[in-house]
Amino acid sequence: MTDITNAADAPGHVGDATPSREDAEAESRQQRGASSITMSGLHKRFGRDAVALDGVDLTIEAGEFFTLLGPSGCGKTTLLRILAGLEEADEGQLNIGGKDVTDVAPHHRSVNTVFQSYALFPHLSVRENLAFGLKMKGMPAAERERKVAEIAQFIKLGDLIDRRIDQLSGGQRQRIALARALVCEPDVLLLDEPLSALDAGLRSQLQVELLRVQKRLGMTFVFVTHDQDEAMVMSDRIAVLNGGKIQQVGAPREVYEHPANAFVARFMGHGNLYSVTARSGNQLTTELGELEVEQDAGGALVLIRPETLDLKLGHVEGRNHLHGRISERLYRGSHAEFRLELAGTSLQAVVNNRGKHMPDVGDEVTVVVAPEDLVTLSE
């Protein structure tokens, strides 16, 4: 980030034959592994009974947009604070850029944090907020002004640089908080639910902007959220946490389509989980009836993703054909969500709106389940 204006003005990476200066710096940083993170056996308790982290082992690659995802109290924010040096682990080791920083003070780590509250100084101007960290580092005034001007241009808020923080909107404050963290050129940027206070439209817009910033700079981002959609949109990889333990690490598609266990499946929004009572080869006996799977990974449950189902009006016989009745329909424009009653239980289905007739409440339907779309998993 020596000259951040190059990154701001650079064309997109796709099809850009000449790498920008920022691209070269990002590649060099990744080759050095300077911003990779390795956690080994991290434990943290608060009091005698509150286990925040229970033996966390995790590696984050240099230049990744990595998300810690989970419900409130799962340990994700505690883990972020340990990375920042704001909490100390009771046990374990933390390496950043190949160096052991387990006992290194926060101000000696090349790490900055964007907090949920933004933690800006309301009585200072945008310029003064952006310059604060550089001033604390003892940077000469002329160089400080140049870097502040560059980062203001990068986040496209140069015309607001002399306004007070309390005169800005929520979205503008979020950009300032991000810029203040970036201007000090950390190897790792930590983000603690920085978009959670924004309305849905602005949040969606800033998700894309934040992702573009990360890809353009090639910096390692560690992002904390409880929002599954946000995690899937923004992340290279996701770690799902619960009870201080990592339940699964993988790319968004892997975590969504092949959850490691029932907790991950339910947290990712899957409700169609059914008990497997017997199996013979690839043939499963479930509470819905007999189902054939392409690959049986074992486990006590089978997952049926609602968007993979095909609905046919009437009673149609065939392999993996289930019969039931529609009890509820929610029309959402681009698609409709159905709840069906069958075999003494319920099933959810999502059907894209292709402009054709859709089933309605009360209709008898056949649900077609493709064997390759079924996933077996553990409790």
Query: Structure pTM?
Result: 0.84
Q: Is residue 66 within 8 Å of residue 239, measured between CB atoms?
A: yes
Tell whether the model's pLDDT for residue 115 goes beyond 90.
Answer: no
Q: What distance in Å separates the CA atoms of residue 216 and residue 155, rounded to the nearest whole number?
A: 12
One domain, residues 207 and 234: yes
CATH code of the domain in which 327 resides = 2.40.50.100
355 assigned to some structural domain? yes
One domain, residues 19 and 89: yes
One domain, residues 193 and 339: no
Average pLDDT over residues 60-70: 96
Q: What distance in Å separates the CA atoms of residue 19 and residue 12, rounded to the nearest whole number?
A: 10
Other C-beta atoms within 10 Å of 143: how many? 10
One domain, residues 253 and 195: yes
168 assigned to some structural domain? no
One domain, residues 84 and 203: yes
One domain, residues 253 and 283: no
137 assigned to some structural domain? no
Tell whether the model's pLDDT for residue 22 goes beyond 60.
Answer: no
Final residue before a domain boundary, out of 236, 262, 288:
262
138 assigned to some structural domain? no
Task: Return the minimum-mean-pLDDT range out of 19-23, 94-98, 369-373.
Answer: 19-23
User: Residue 315: how many CA atoms within 13 Å on its side-chain side?
Assistant: 1
One domain, residues 321 and 218: no
117 assigned to some structural domain? no
Average pLDDT over residues 59-78: 95
One domain, residues 191 and 67: yes
Tell whether the model's pLDDT for residue 256 goes beyond 90.
Answer: yes
- Give the pLDDT band of residue 223 (cuts 50, 70, 90): very high
Tell whether the model's pLDDT for residue 40 goes beyond 60.
Answer: yes
- Give the pLDDT band of residue 25 (cuts 50, 70, 90): very low
252 assigned to some structural domain? yes
Q: Please tell me the total count of domains within the chain.
A: 2
210 assigned to some structural domain? yes
132 assigned to some structural domain? no
Q: Are strands 91-96 and 188-192 parallel, antiparallel or unpaired?
A: unpaired
Average pLDDT over residues 54-64: 96
Task: Return the minimum-mean-pLDDT range out of 168-182, 324-338, 349-363.
Answer: 168-182
One domain, residues 233 and 327: no
- Domain span at residue 218 reads 4-110+186-262
One domain, residues 84 and 190: yes
**pLDDT confidence of residue 227:** 93
Final residue before a domain boundary, out of 202, 228, 262:
262
Final residue before a domain boundary, out of 202, 234, 262:
262
**pLDDT confidence of residue 200:** 81
pLDDT per residue as tens digits for the range 262-278: 999 999 999 999 999 99
